[in-house]
Structure formats: structure tokens, C-alpha cells
Amino acid sequence: MPAQLWGGQYRKSEKERWNEAIALRYSCRHFKLDIYPATLSALEYTAARLPVKGTRVVLAEIPENADLLIPIPFISSFTGVTRYAAVIADTAFQDPKTLAGITGETFVLEATSLGVATCWVAGNFRRSACEIPLYEGEQILAIIPFGLAEDNTFARKRKALRQLCRNDPATWPLWAYKAAESVRGAPSAINRQPWRFDFTGSTLRVSFPSLNSLDTGIALLHLTCALFQGSYRVTVQQKEHSLLIYQGETHDIV
């Protein structure tokens, strides 16, 4: 995973805005049937401008009677969904799922900052129902239903940060604690929260099951947003599926 592909391409003001949105974001499954035209235009602008190289986001309406979303047993079914964002990646790029996670989460956090509710859907949708032309090598890796939330939506619970850490985060410097806490709030497949944290000396280690997944990309964007105020350096450990983050003044990518 080339480190230069995430973090540096976004402006400080964007990362600051998204950092504030992280605390407000939740996975919404019940939507109203309307969205304001001005808000939709802002989201279309977001979808066109923010994707990282090798990815794109396409906004689409769900045709009447289209069977796009697949119900999951014991989980509340979606209601009122009329629009979605398709997160598309070119599989010729290195770690396309991670890149798609970064791009999709920029859309999610920008939508949140505009008062629009969202939900990541990676597995339980019918790709054949997505009427979006694809270029050679492209795949739709996820869709993100979006709209105005109904009042009966709710946020999913998260594990306590201490459960995700190999040592006590209360002893860490504030920047490392905030970075880990930001990732803790990131959405993940079936809410697994697969990342783990460790702080030793002056270095925060963030470990993942894989460096090529939507969950990893989403977490990377949250890290980038949490660290928007300072100068930090990142080392990617491919074999260990982890990142080493430490304060520095040169070669900053976040």
C-alpha cells in the first residue's frame, strides 16, 4: 500500500471538517423520500472531486421496484432508500479495496457534514441491479444509500477503546489517543472493528487483518482526519499489515 496515496491529497480544512463529522456519523437504515436539490448538487460535486486515483463515485437513483438491497436476517431492513452512491475501483491499481474505502468514506463524511445520512453496504446488494456503466477492470465494491434520516434510526455500539489496544491508551500522548479513538468510530463490516492499536516509545502502531480492504481504507481516512493539526510520519509494514505513526517534521503525508 503506497503511503503517498492517502492523506496528502486532501486539504487541511477538509480533514478538519471531516474530523468533526466522524463523531456525528452513524449507519442509517431508514430514510425519508426526499433530499434537497442544493444538497444533492453539493454531493455530486463531492463525488466528482474527492476520489483518490483509481477510484470513482457515481450517484444513482434506484428505479421503482428495483431489487437492489438484499435483506439480512435479524437486521432491520432498509426503508425509504431512493438514492445511492456506487463506490467503484479499478482493480489494476494496488490495493483497490483500500483506495475505495478512502474514497467512499470521504463521501460519507462530507455527506454527514451536510446533514445527510448514509450507510455502507458492501455485501448485501445486487450488483446486477446497479445500472452504472463500468470501464474495463472496474468493479463496484460497495454502495452507500444516502438521504435524510427518519427519526427512528440509531447508531451502533462500539467496543471500548481499551478492548482494541495492547496497552492502556490512557497512558498515551493525546495525539495517539485521538487517532485511535477516531478509528474506533469508523464503520466496518458487520461492526467487527478489526483494527488493533499499540503505543511504544513515541510510535503508534495500527494493525489490520489486511492492507487491502474497505475497512482499512475507511480507517486510514479517519486516521488522516484525526491527525490534521500536526506533522506526522507514517511507515507502512506490508508483511505485518500495520502502520507505524510518529511525530515528525519531514516527509509528512498526513
pLDDT of 174-183, one tens digit each?
999 999 999 9
pLDDT, position 66: 76
3-147 and 161-247: identical CATH topology? yes
Domain ranges of the chain: 3-147, 161-247
| 3-state secondary structure string across the chain | CCHHHCCCCCCHHHHHHHHHHHCCCCECCEECCCCCHHHHHHHHHHHHHCCCCCEEEEEEECCCCCCCECCCCCCCCCECCCEEEEEEEECCCCCHHHHHHHHHHHHHHHHHHCCCEECCECCCECHHHCCCCCCCCEEEEEEEEEECECCCCCCCCCCCHHHHECCCHHHCCHHHHHHHHHHHCCCCHHHCCCCEEEEECCEEEEECCCCCCHHHHHHHHHHHHHCCCCCEEEEEECCCCEEEEEECCCCCCC
Locus of grid cell 434510526? 153
Average pLDDT over residues 148-162: 78
What average pLDDT does the segment 49-68 reach? 89
In this prediction, residue 1 carries a pLDDT of 56
Tell me, which fold does domain 161-247 have in CATH? NADH Oxidase (3.40.109)
pLDDT at residue 142 tops 70? yes
pLDDT of residue 6: 55
> pLDDT at residue 135 above 50?
yes
Which class would CATH give 3-147? Answer: alpha beta
